[in-house]
Amino acid sequence: MTLALEEMTAAAPQSGEACSLENYLALPDHSMDSRIAEARERLGASTILLGHHYQRDEVIRFADFTGDSYKLSKIASETDARYIVFCGVHFMAESADILSREGQRVILPDLNAGCSMADMADISQVEDCWEGLERFGLADETIPLTYMNSTAAIKAFCGEQGGLVCTSSNAGAAFRWAFARGRRILFLPDQHLGRNTGHSMGLPLEEMTVWDPWAIQGGQTRERLAASRILLWKGHCAVHQRFLPGHVDQVRARYPGIQVIVHPECRFEVCQKADALGSTERLIALVEQAPAGSSLAIGTEIHLVNRLARRFAPEGKKIVTLDDTGCLCTTMYRISPQHLAWALENLVEDRVVNHIQVRANVKHWARVALDRMLEI
């Protein structure tokens, strides 16, 4: 394999001596507001600030655009901005770089903002899986698909092996595309989205097999692998897996008549009990389209749920989280006003910090996988 253990992305060398981040982290959140606003004004159209839906309010309110990772990356690539400051997580910044125009540079305010789901599919493990399928004579009839929530290396692997990337909103179309080209799908890295998508297409659960990267031969026999139609990588979203079937029962008992809508990254049993499934953008649309006075319980990240609750309160819509213990994305939460101010003020001084740059060969194949997605 051409993508083996090589480091796939890196923080590029910095220009000049950056301002010390530690000096920023010692200051309170509210003290950053005027500094962020001033830096943004000085940078003008040279810089675009992207905020994922799951970002904390103190950060996302400064964003030029809000949305999911693919939507934001696409928007940024269509602007004339020289700098793309992505308030999200590492794989999102990688995706922005993959789709960026020549001369654009992507900045992630905190390099520690990762994604536990994306980290559950390491490129070396995926290559080991593929080599196992090759030994069994199953690789030629298997199409690898990866969720957008994956590293650039995994996207590139799928592109090089004839597969593509999908989002939660077009996973069904991606599955149909793959089944037209092979008998079997290897779906990375979220088993729940893969299972829920396969089930929605009429595939029985018995034809979906989980590949455990930490077990010998994925924890499966050749016969079981050969009989499967979908190989589900054993990965999940730490936020959405927290929701349980009992949470649906509890919220219905507490709020009779409430509509339950959840993200397809939730467990199969939760999705089966819900009234509707949808990507983040779809969940927002369902709330927007609900009649005034409606009650909805949403199974997704708590910052988004709270934001929707405030936004639609004037219309008499009651929006609650499916689990009232709260489910925030801890890695998204790492992007703070201090990190944002630090990145922007360094740009004002013509210093680029935390530049995310996907290596050329990885970028090529990842772009192939993304372009195939656009074709469907």
What is the band of 287 on the pLDDT scale with cuts at 50, 70, 90?
very high
Distances (CA, A) of 333 to 82, 225, 326: 26, 38, 13
Residue 195 lies in a domain: yes
Distances (CA, A) of 42 to 24, 39, 345, 346, 353: 19, 5, 9, 12, 17
Q: Within this chain, do residues 249 and 295 fall inside the same structural domain, yes or no?
A: yes
Residue pair 329/65 in contact by the 8 Å Cβ criterion: no
Structure tokens at 349: 């001084």
Q: Within this chain, do residues 125 and 108 fall inside the same structural domain, yes or no?
A: no
Question: Residue 108 above 90 pLDDT?
Answer: yes
CB under 8 Å to 225, separation ≥6 — which residues?
133, 136, 138, 209, 218, 231
Q: Within this chain, do residues 232 and 262 fall inside the same structural domain, yes or no?
A: no
Q: Within this chain, do residues 222 and 256 fall inside the same structural domain, yes or no?
A: no
Instruction: Count the neighbouring beta carbons within 10 Å of the beta carbon of residue 256.
Output: 7
pTM over 0.85: yes
CA–CA dist 185, 163 (Å, integer): 9
Q: Within this chain, do residues 123 and 231 fall inside the same structural domain, yes or no?
A: yes
Work out the average pLDDT over 182-195: 98
Q: Within this chain, do residues 209 and 250 fall inside the same structural domain, yes or no?
A: no
Work out the average pLDDT over 242-265: 97
Domain that holds residue 36: 19-113+332-352
CA–CA dist 287, 66 (Å, integer): 17
Q: Within this chain, do residues 30 and 87 fall inside the same structural domain, yes or no?
A: yes
pLDDT number for residue 326: 67
Residue 122 lies in a domain: yes
Q: Within this chain, do residues 160 and 221 fall inside the same structural domain, yes or no?
A: yes
Q: Which helix (H) or strand (E) holds 210?
A: strand 208-211
CA–CA dist 303, 17 (Å, integer): 35
Q: What is the pLDDT of residues 295-353, one digit of tens each?
A: 999 999 999 999 999 999 999 999 999 998 767 787 888 899 999 999 999 999 999 99
What is the band of 2 on the pLDDT scale with cuts at 50, 70, 90?
very low
Residue 363 lies in a domain: no
CA–CA dist 97, 104 (Å, integer): 8
Residue 95 lies in a domain: yes
Q: Which residues pair with 77 in a beta bridge?
A: none
Question: Residue 240 above 50 pLDDT?
Answer: yes
Instruction: Count the neighbouring beta carbons within 10 Å of the beta carbon of residue 234.
Output: 17
pLDDT number for residue 1: 38
What is the band of 7 on the pLDDT scale with cuts at 50, 70, 90?
very low
Q: What is the pLDDT of residues 131-172, one digit of tens each?
A: 999 999 999 999 999 999 999 999 999 999 999 999 999 999
What is the band of 5 on the pLDDT scale with cuts at 50, 70, 90?
very low
Work out the average pLDDT over 19-41: 89
Q: Within this chain, do residues 210 and 138 fall inside the same structural domain, yes or no?
A: yes
Question: Residue 81 above 60 pLDDT?
Answer: yes
What is the band of 176 on the pLDDT scale with cuts at 50, 70, 90?
very high
Q: Within this chain, do residues 97 and 125 fall inside the same structural domain, yes or no?
A: no
- Residue 163's nearest CA partner among 14, 150, 81 is 150
pLDDT number for residue 376: 85
Residue 261 lies in a domain: yes
CA–CA dist 195, 188 (Å, integer): 11
- The total number of structural domains that make up the chain: 3
Residue 327 lies in a domain: no
Compute the mean pLDDT over every residue in the chain, rounded to the nearest whole number: 92
Residue 260 lies in a domain: yes
Work out the average pLDDT over 202-216: 97
pLDDT number for residue 13: 39
CA–CA dist 272, 38 (Å, integer): 48
290: domain CATH number? 3.40.50.10800
Share of the chain above pLDDT 90, in %: 86
What is the band of 270 on the pLDDT scale with cuts at 50, 70, 90?
very high
Q: Within this chain, do residues 147 and 228 fall inside the same structural domain, yes or no?
A: yes
Residue 1 lies in a domain: no
pLDDT number for residue 18: 58
Q: Within this chain, do residues 221 and 252 fall inside the same structural domain, yes or no?
A: no
